[in-house]
A and B are shown apart, each in its own frame.
Chain A
Amino acid sequence: DGGITQSPKYLFRKEGQNVTLSCEQNLNHDAMYWYRQDPGQGLRLIYYSQIVNDFQKGDIAEGYSVSREKKESFPLTVTSAQTNPTAFYLCASSIIRDSGANVLTFGAGSRLTVL
Chain B
Amino acid sequence: GQNIDQPTEMTATEGAIVQINCTYQTSGFNGLFWYQQHAGEAPTFLSYNVLDGLEEKGRFSSFLSRSKGYSYLLLKELQMKDSASYLCAVMDSNYQLIWGAGTKLIIKP
Asked if A64 is at the interface (CB within 8 A of a chain B CB), the reply is no
Q: How many pairs, one residue from A and one from B, have CB atoms within 8 Å of each other in the complex?
A: 54
**A102 is an interface residue with CB less than 8 A from chain B:** yes
The contact string, 1 if C-beta is below 8 Å from chain B, for chain A 88-115, is 1010000000011111111111010000
Q: Give the chain B neighbours of A107 by CB distance below 8 A.
A: 42
On whether A42 and B45 interact (CB within 8 A), knowing A100-B95, A102-B91, A102-B95, the answer reads no
Q: How far is the CA of A92 from the CA of B23 in the complex (A)?
A: 24
Known A108-B41, A109-B40, A109-B42; contact A101-B101, beta-carbon cutoff 8 A: no
A90 near B43 with CB under 8 A, answer yes
Check B31 against A106 for contact (C-beta < 8 Å). Answer: no
Contact assessment for A43 and B99 in the assembled complex, using a CB-CB cutoff below 8 Å: yes
**Is residue A40 contacting chain B, with contact meaning CB distance below 8 A?**
yes
A45 within 8 Å of B (CB atoms): yes
B58: min CB distance to chain A, Å: 17
Whether B41 contacts A42 by the Cβ 8 Å rule is no
B residues contacting A by CB (< 8 A) are: 4, 8, 30-31, 33, 35, 40-45, 48, 50, 87, 89, 91, 95-102
Given contacts A104-B97, A106-B43, A106-B44, 4 further A-B contacts (CB under 8 A): A42-B100, A42-B101, A105-B45, A109-B41
Interface residues of A (CB under 8 A from B): 4, 40-45, 88, 90, 99-109, 111
Can you list 20 pairs linking A and B with CB atoms under 8 Å apart?
A40-B8, A42-B4, A43-B87, A43-B89, A44-B99, A45-B96, A88-B40, A90-B42, A99-B31, A100-B30, A100-B31, A100-B91, A100-B95, A102-B95, A104-B35, A104-B97, A106-B42, A107-B42, A109-B40, A111-B40
Minimum-distance CB pairs A-B, first 8 = A100-B30, A42-B99, A100-B31, A106-B42, A43-B99, A100-B91, A108-B42, A103-B45
